[in-house]
Amino acid sequence: MDTIPTPFRVDSLPQPRIRNAEKRDAAEIAQIYHQATQDGLATFESFLASPDERERWVEEHRGRFPLLVAEWSGRLLGWASLSPYPIRPHIDGVVEMLIYIDRDFRRHGVGRELMRALQVAARESGHRKIIGRFVVHNDAGRTLCRQTGWREVGVHLKHMYLDGRWQDMVIVEYLIPENLK
Ligand SMILES: CC(C)(COP(=O)(O)OP(=O)(O)OC[C@H]1O[C@@H](n2cnc3c(N)ncnc32)[C@H](O)[C@@H]1OP(=O)(O)O)[C@@H](O)C(=O)NCCC(=O)NCCS
C-alpha cells in the first residue's frame, strides 16, 4: 500500500502524508514511543529499546501487519501499527493496534487521520477485528477511539505496572463488518 487518501483534514497543519514505514524510520518511531513512556502512556516499558529491536520490528510489519507513519515536511508526526494478537489459543483475523503521535503534534487531528488509514488497511488485509488496550486515565486514547467507531469492552483492574503502581487498563475493539461475513 502506498500513500492512503484519508477523508479528514488536519486543522492547523497541512495534510500529512500517510505511508508504510521503512527501515530508515525506525529511530524516529522509537523516539515517539519513548515520549509516551515519559508521559506515562506507553504500555510496554522496554519496547523498541535497542536499534536492532527497532529495525527488526519495522521489518516485521509488512503485508497483513502494516506499520503506517504520518509524515510532514520530512518529519514523522506519528505512527500506527497492526500486530498479531498475542492470546492463546491463537485466533485468526484479530489484530492488535498501537498508535503514537509526537508530543509536539498531538491534538491536531493526526491521530484520527492515522487511525482511519489503519482501519482501511485492516479491512483490506482481511482482518475482522482490531483490539486496543491502554491505561484507563488515557483520555486522548479513549476519545480518539470513541470518535473512530471503537467499542469499550471493559476494564481490567490493577492490570499493569506503570509509573510505580498497578494501573487499570481499558480494552477496546473495532469490528470490521465487511470481513465478518
Ligand atoms: C491518543 C493519541 C494517539 C491521539 O492522537 P492525536 O493526534 O492527539 O488525536 P487527534 O488530534 O486526532 O484527536 C482526536 C480527538 O481526541 C481528542 N483529544 C486528543 N487529545 C485529548 C486529550 N488529551 N484529552 C481529551 N481529548 C483529547 C481531540 O480533541 C479530538 O477530538 P475533537 O475532534 O472533538 O477535538 C495521542 O494523544 C498519543 O499519541 N498519545 C500517547 C500514546 C497513546 O496513548 N496511544 C493510544 C494507546 S495505544
pLDDT of res. 129: 97
pLDDT of res. 40: 84
Cell of 128: 475482522
111 Cα: distance to centroid of ligand 1 (angstroms): 6
Question: Which strand (E) or helix (H) includes residue 80?
Answer: strand 75-84
The Cα 168–Cα 25 span in angstroms is 32
Work out the angle between the directed axes of helices 26-38 and 51-60 (0-180°, nearest 10). 110
* pLDDT tens, residue by residue, 112-142: 999 999 999 999 999 999 999 999 999 999 9
CB 58 within 8 A of CB 47: no
Answer with the residue of higher pLDDT: 31 or 164: 31
Which ligand 1 atom is the nearest neighbour of the CA of 141? 1
pTM for the whole structure: 0.93
> What lines the ligand 1 site, CB under 6 Å?
36, 41, 98-101, 106-112, 132, 134, 138-141, 143-144, 147
The confidence band for 39, taking pLDDT boundaries of 50, 70 and 90, is confident
Report all structural domains of the chain as residue ranges with CATH numbers, in order of start.
17-179 (3.40.630.30)
